[in-house]
Amino acid sequence: MSRAVRGFAGRAAAAALALAVALPAAAYLPPASAILKRAAQRREELHVAALEARGAIAFSGEAAQRVAAALGVQAPAGELTVPAVFTLKVPGRCRLELAPERVPAADRPAASLRAGRVLGHRGLEAMPAARALVEGLCALLAERTGPEAEHALAQGLASRGVALSEVALGRVGGRVAWVLGGRPREGRPQAWIDKQSYQPIRLVAPLGGPTRDVRLLDFGAPVGGDAFPRAVEVWSGAALEARFTLEKLWLNPRLPDAVF
């Protein structure tokens, strides 16, 4: 093969690679209604009416200082990790409770969302990182099931400012996702749905006050399966404020409404 032919072949291969990388940006984009319908069906197939997730939540920076003050402990180096319980009941009821050892249940800080209202105990509901985690998870995982699930999910996202008329593609953790609400780096309210699994993996919206980024990481891990992510992170800009790591999960426990 001549040098000219080899050069042409090399340029052709490079062009093909560039085209392959660019293809996701030029791929067919279904309407948000079709994406949310598949996402709602995916949750419906799991038959999750309620869940209890136990693990640990790590707070950073100002969030760590505020939680430490509520618990009456120190937060060395601006970091604080405490046991925590997240409970969810469809539709739209979620609660985050901090459960450190030696703290009676009646004294545990908690933040609950029910009927669109955030309530709490010992000030956790006023802490943006904790509130954002509760609001974000509830918006993505706790909408009603059945024939109205798709519309309920759409209404919940729209109420957070997500423009459902705009759909793009993005990448997170090496995976491709549908991005509802605009292009990935525009800084507007967005909901991200994994393109392959149709699991909700990200919500960027006014949560707990100003815009925050709630990320649901590693669905399909052994402990949570497809029902709950292995970890949930709350970001404010480039700062990680909180990370909940799952240790145990109970599906469809009996949760009285009074819990929320």
Inform me whether the pLDDT recorded for 1 exceeds 70: no
Inform me whether the pLDDT recorded for 21 exceeds 50: no
Q: Which two tokens stand for residue 174?
A: 């090496």
Q: Give tens-digit pLDDT for 37-66.
A: 999 999 999 999 999 999 999 999 999 999
User: Lowest-pLDDT range, 67-76, 79-88, 122-131, 168-177?
Assistant: 67-76
114 compared with 72, residue with greater pLDDT? 114
Question: Is the CB of residue 92 less than 8 Å from the CB of residue 116?
Answer: yes
Mean pLDDT of the chain: 90
User: Lowest-pLDDT range, 119-133, 140-154, 203-217, 224-238?
Assistant: 140-154
Query: Exposed, middle or buried by CB within 10 Å (0-12, 13-18, 19+), for 183?
Result: middle
Phi and psi of 102, rounded to 5°? 70, 5
Inform me whether the pLDDT recorded for 11 exceeds 80: no
Q: Which two tokens stand for residue 257?
A: 């409404």
Q: Which of 257, 170, 251 is nearest to 215 (CA)?
A: 170
pLDDT score recorded for residue 26: 52
The b/e string for 184-205 (b: 16+ C-beta within 10 A; e otherwise) is beeeebbbbbbbebbbbbbbbb
Question: Residue 190: pLDDT band by 50, 70, 90 thresholds?
Answer: very high
105 compared with 216, residue with greater pLDDT? 216
Query: At 83, is the secondary structure helix, strand, or coil?
Result: strand
pLDDT score recorded for residue 4: 46
Question: Is the CB of residue 201 less than 8 Å from the CB of residue 172?
Answer: yes
pLDDT score recorded for residue 12: 44
Give CATH for domain 28-161+201-251.
2.50.20
CA atoms within 13 A on the CB side of 118: 21
**Cα(182)–Cα(91) distance, integer angstroms:** 27
Phi and psi of 214, rounded to 5°? -100, 120
Strand order in the sheet with 239-251: 117-121, 110-114, 93-98, 79-89, 50-60, 239-251, 231-236, 211-217, 200-206, 190-194, 175-180, 167-172
* Residue 83, strand partner residues: 56
Q: What is the pLDDT averaged over residues 9-36? A: 62
Question: Is the CB of residue 93 less than 8 Å from the CB of residue 114?
Answer: yes
Question: Residue 20: pLDDT band by 50, 70, 90 thresholds?
Answer: very low
Question: Is the CB of residue 34 less than 8 Å from the CB of residue 172?
Answer: no
Query: At 142, is the secondary structure helix, strand, or coil?
Result: coil
User: Lowest-pLDDT range, 3-12, 170-179, 202-211, 225-234?
Assistant: 3-12
Q: What is the pLDDT averaged over residues 176-203? A: 96
Q: Give tens-digit pLDDT for 93-110.
A: 999 999 998 889 889 999
Q: Give tens-digit pLDDT for 219-232.
A: 999 999 999 999 99
Neighbouring C-beta atoms of residue 79, cutoff 10 Å: 13
Global confidence as pTM: 0.88
pLDDT score recorded for residue 87: 98
Q: Write out the E strands in the chain.
A: 50-60, 79-89, 93-98, 110-114, 117-121, 167-172, 175-180, 190-194, 200-206, 211-217, 231-236, 239-251
